[in-house]
């Protein structure tokens, strides 16, 4: 199976998994932009469990500060995985803890996920 960029998916040497491993185990601390790119690639490959695990690692264990793109990837992941209840918890967390308010894109993702999820 091939991704939209022509790179084979679901193999152990997949570029997004290699980047994630490198970001996690290298001496250089990844930026929020690197983390978002890796999570978005895994989201597009429908590796929802890996996206959630990486979000936890990058933003909770490694103390990298997430931005709205980070949260939107997490929201989309939970929506597509059918975890609407978790999506509402993530949204409540954004409202309570983030130094920014959710933009219209976040509401679009929430609405789409809630409509699909019932």
pLDDT digits (tens, 9 = 90+) for 39-91: 999 999 999 999 999 999 889 888 889 999 999 999 999 999 999 999 999 99
Please give the pLDDT value at position 14: 64
What is the Cα–Cα distance from 70 to 73, expressed in whole angstroms?
Answer: 5
Query: Topology of domain 15-117, per CATH?
Result: 1.25.40
CA 73 to chain centre: 4
pLDDT higher than threshold 50 for residue 9 = no
Please give the pLDDT value at position 13: 58
**Residue 13 has what DSSP assignment?**
T
Read off the pLDDT of each residue in 11-20 and give the average, rounded to a whole number.
Answer: 63
Please compute, for residue 88, the number of CA atoms within 13 A of its CA located in the half-sphere on the CB side.
Answer: 6
- Residue 56's H or E segment, with its range, is none
Residue ranges of alpha helices (H) inside 13-83 are 15-25, 32-44, 48-55, 68-80
Domain ranges of the chain: 15-117
């Amino acid at each position: 199976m091939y991704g939209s960029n022509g790179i084979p998916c679901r193999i152990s040497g997949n570029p997004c998994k290699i980047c994630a491993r490198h970001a996690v185990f290298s001496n250089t601390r990844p930026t929020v932009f690197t983390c978002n790119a890796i999570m978005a690639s895994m989201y597009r490959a429908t590796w929802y469990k890996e996206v959630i695990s990486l979000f936890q690692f990058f933003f909770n264990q490694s103390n990298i500060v997430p931005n709205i793109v980070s949260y939107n990837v997490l929201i989309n992941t939970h929506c597509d995985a059918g975890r609407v209840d978790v999506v509402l918890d993530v949204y409540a967390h954004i409202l309570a803890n983030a130094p920014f308010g959710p933009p219209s894109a976040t509401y679009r993702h929430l609405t789409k996920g809630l409509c699909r999820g019932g």
